[in-house]
Structure 1
Amino acid sequence: ILLKKSGIPTFSRRFSLQEARRAENYLKRDLEWKGNGSILEHVKRKGQSQQLALDILRNEFKLDVVMAEDSFKVKVTDYLKRGAHFHEREWKLVNRKVEQGLVFLSSDETVRLIRKELDELIGSKIQSINIESIPDTFQERVRDIKTLANSTLEIVTFSGEYPPCVKHGIEVLERGENLSHSGRFLLATYLLARGQTVDQIVPLFKNAPDYNERITRYQLEHISGSLGKGTKYQCPSCDKLKSENLCFAIPDCDGIINPIQFGKKRKANA
């Protein structure tokens, strides 16, 4: 109520994201199997809570989950719809166990599939709250929240001739909104390819609802190839971005197949 009344979207989004993570942990706990017995034996002990989790996945997120003896299974179409946004190798369909049109998953992986939808669901619930008035004591807390916002939120802007897909991602972050995993991957790979350093890119994500400098820096260093096996990830192609609804093409995009090429053709013809 206080966040809604304060009218600060960034704080509301951070709250909804944290609530989504909390709900995600509850779902994982209910689906999780521990012990030496089979998952079918586990169902007998925790059948009620586990069935509730499965019902939530089915009714709220239209994700039908089938229990196997030691894992969970979802339809390939459901998996591709949600898993396509993950760039880790283990999420590629060719690296998954698939039988009769069903993809095998652990409890953690099953819940992670609906992470984005869970965040959006809770966020929409918060936005739909209609508050006409609150007590004076609550008004004081609202003023405290606004004061805190003025002292902590920053507007970080980047100048330059960026392709519209990159501009869109930057604008989302500048508004303090939650950019998808694929959108963040696009920004990171594009800016690194343009010669920016990890130190220069980190501040761009500061207004993200789930911002954590340590994690952000770690992920950027991993993408840049300075951590891990030294693999430097490349900027995704325009076709890939279209499949993830991250393409916002304009006439100047004509003839390019990767955002890195944006502007080069026009300059050559100038």
Structure 2
Amino acid sequence: MIKLGEAELAKYPFLADAGQHLPEYGFTLEQLAQDPDLAVVREKAFNRIYTTTQTGKIYKPSPKGSTALPLEVLSFILAIVLLKQSRANFLIKKFAMQEARGAERFLERDLGQGTTDIQIETTRKIIWDLAHIEISKRDRYFVIAVPDYLHRAVLFHAREWKLINRQVKDGWVYLNPHETVRLIRQELVNYISDKISSAATPPVVSGLQDMVDKLILLNSKFQPQIAYSDKNPPCVQHAIDTLSDGKNLSHAGRFMLATYLLSRGYNVKEIAPYFKNAPDYNESITLYQLNHLAGKSGNNTQYACQSCAKLKSANLCYATSECEGIHNPMQFGVKR
């Protein structure tokens, strides 16, 4: 694991060893929970969770030099403690997703704007630690071996990610900083999620109980009561189950689920709760997109559920014997 300085740890606090950093800075969990002088850490830790899970906004670290305390690392560590103590599984998934998005911005900026070989090398090593992927800089591009690229690009459905549409030379794929970082997004999310999952769950100490109780309440709001039909086609049920488990569903999968439910006669308010457990859920954006698909905005055209052939091409088909003879999910269960 690369040894990072305070500036890098402020941007990538999940790379810090939580078990070592508290004593390294001379703090115990009890001090973080009770010391009046450390109230700023407690407030920042809770707000860090609230901002990322409730507003859908990406957390922004404090300006450099705004305090003598290593606020970003300490608040991240305490945020993990609070999430573990509250057993807020849905909040944990959302927190990991948004922290990953924030780290993406820093990685992209550091790759694209690194002015020294040391800065770029540090960022390359961070990416290696996160995703075990070797990248090299060539002119204004970053290159990755074809096998490493294909292993990750298979998760993307947009045409620009197809190998035939990429610049390839001598077994290397050429990418800009944004594409390089986007390629490892899921691994970044998994890294942070694993970091939280593997962290110990200490007993709740005095000074943290109120925040833990608030997180338990917030977490309960992400468990909507939805009536699931046993007559949904397998592709739709898979999408519902994915979201219900708090996992990320691709854009194509969300489009399929929304258009299917709209075609079944559901209205926007009835459909929105299906997406509430998505790690990147944002209520206003979800309602806007659903209204657009329902034809209530934009060109006033309601989008139809895509055919089975299109869903297969997007790797969204989970056909069973009951799907035999149908060409669109809307035909599932219809007697022929």
Corresponding residue for residue 103 of structure 2 = 23
Which runs of no fewer than 5 residues in structure 1 stay unpaired?
A: 34-41
Question: Does residue 116 of structure 1 match 2:203?
Answer: no
Distance of 1:221 and 1:83 partners within structure 2: 31
Q: Which amino acid aligns with 2:123?
A: A
Q: 1:22-61 residue pairs with structure 2 within 5 A?
A: 22-33=102-113, 45-61=115-131
Q: CA contact under 8 A between 1:86 and 1:181: conserved in structure 2?
A: no
Q: 1:207 aligns with which of 277, 300, 303?
A: 277
d(CA) in 2 for partners of 1:131, 1:91: 40
User: Offset of 1:201 from its aligned partner?
Assistant: 3.3
Q: Against the structure 1 CA distance between its residues 109 and 156, is the aligned structure 2 distance closer, same or farther, given a 3 Å change threshold?
A: farther
CA distance in structure 1 between the partners assigned to 2:207 and 2:154 by the alignment: 47
Closer/same/farther in 2, CA of residues 232 and 98 from structure 1, 3 Å limit: farther
Give 2:58's aligned residue.
none
Instruction: For 2:264 and 2:150, locate their aligned partners in 1 and report how far apart those are by CA, in whole Å.
Output: 30
Three-state SS of the structure 2 residue aligned to 1:137 is: coil
Distance 2:331 2:148 in 1: 33
The separation in 1 between residues aligned to 2:302 and 2:142, in whole angstroms, is: 31
State the secondary structure of the residue aligned to 2:110: helix
> Which residue matches 2:224?
155
Per-residue CA deviation, residues 37-62 of structure 1 (Å, 9 max, x unaligned), is xxxxx6xx322221122223234313
Change in CA separation of 1:59 and 1:202 when aligned onto 2, cut-off 3 Å: same
Residues 156 and 174 of structure 1 are in contact (CA less than 8 Å); yes or no, is this contact kept in structure 2? Answer: no
- Structure 1 segment 125-164 matched on structure 2, within 5 A: 125-150=195-220, 152-160=221-229, 161-164=231-234
Q: Is the 8 A contact 1:5 1:131 kept in 2?
A: yes
Give CA-to-partner distance per residue, 1:185-228, whole Å, 9 cap, x none.
Answer: 44245445656565653332122221113333455567779759
Post-superposition offset of 1:25: 1.8
Conservation of the 8 A alpha-carbon contact between 2:224 and 2:273: no
Equivalent runs, 1:153-192 vs 2, <5 Å: 153-160=222-229, 161-192=231-262
Q: Distance in 1 between matches of 2:308 and 2:207?
A: 51
Deviation, structure 1 residue 84: 3.2
Q: CA deviation at 1:179?
A: 3.0
Q: How many angstroms apart in 2 are the aligned matches of 1:104 and 1:217?
A: 37
Name the counterpart of 2:89. 9
Identity of aligned residues (%): 43
* Equivalent-residue separation in structure 1 for 2:212 and 2:287 (angstroms): 33
Aligned to 2:55: none
RMSD: 3.3
CA contact (8 A) 1:85 1:181 kept: no
Q: SS at the partner of 2:116?
A: helix
Matched, 1:84 2:84: no
SS of residue matched to 1:80? helix
C-alpha change, 1:257 and 1:209, in structure 2 (3 Å) is same
Unaligned runs of 5+ in 2: 1-80
Task: Tell me the equivalent position of 1:39.
Answer: none
Q: Tell which deviates more after alignment, 15-24 or 62-71.
A: 62-71
Matched residues, number: 251
Distance 2:302 2:167 in 1: 25
Query: Does structure 2 retain, via aligned residues, the 8 Å contact 1:193–1:235?
Result: no
In structure 1, distance between residues paired with 2:291 and 2:153: 23
Q: TM-score, normalised by structure 1?
A: 0.75
The alpha carbon displacement at 1:173 in A equals: 1.9
Q: Distance in 2 between matches of 1:30 and 1:140?
A: 38
Q: Deviations over 1:7-56 (max 9, x none)?
A: 121111111112211221221121113xxxxxxxx6xx322221122223
